[in-house]
Structure 1
Amino acid sequence: MIEVFKTNVQEESQCKIIIEKLLEHFPNSSISFDLEDCDKILRIHSPSISNTKIIDVLNFHGYSCEVLP
């Protein structure tokens, strides 16, 4: 399963922190950011994905996050 999110993450250092936190909840996942995209894309490939949990993790760390259709 692959899910794509729009975020407001700006820096590579921020990406690393967020990816570490997401891997705590989704350990068997492939997680990446595309900061070149205008929507600062977060892409997660995982056997099971909880959109609510992903959004909660980013919100907890001060970032906005929404599912892209």
Structure 2
Amino acid sequence: MVEVFKTDIDRKEDAERVFRLLSYIFPLATINFDLEDVDNILRVECKNRSVDFDKLMRVVEEAGFKAEVLEDHQPVVGFL
């Protein structure tokens, strides 16, 4: 499954800090940021297990940032 989030993270240092935190909490997920995108994208891919995306958004918010599911993105189920 792939989910894409719009964030207010716009500095590389902040993205790296949140990346490390999320990678620790969700070790089986592939996580990356695209700060070149106007929506400061956070993309999360999980092959074998589903990620609790509500928990992921709470973790980002507890780190001091906002994350919301990108409105025009449809999750991709069955990611291989």
TM-score (norm 2): 0.80
CA distance in 1, matches of 2:63, 2:28: 22
* Bigger share in helix: 1
Tell me, what secondary structure is at the counterpart of 2:43? strand
- The corresponding residue for 1:5 is 5
Task: Please identify the structure whose Cα radius of gyration is greater.
Answer: 2
- Between the two proteins, the alignment pairs up a number of residues equal to 69
Unaligned 5+ segments in structure 2 are 72-80
- The corresponding residue for 1:64 is 66
CA distance in 2, matches of 1:48, 1:15: 22
Q: CA deviation at 1:28?
A: 1.3
Q: CA deviation at 1:32?
A: 0.5
Unaligned 5+ segments in structure 1 are none
**Percentage of matched positions with identical amino acids:** 38
- 1:45-65 CA-partner distances (Å, limit 9, x unpaired): 113211111110110011011
TM-score (norm 1): 0.92
List structure 1 runs of 4+ shifted beyond 3 angstroms: none
Q: CA deviation at 1:25?
A: 1.6
Superposition CA RMSD, Å: 0.9
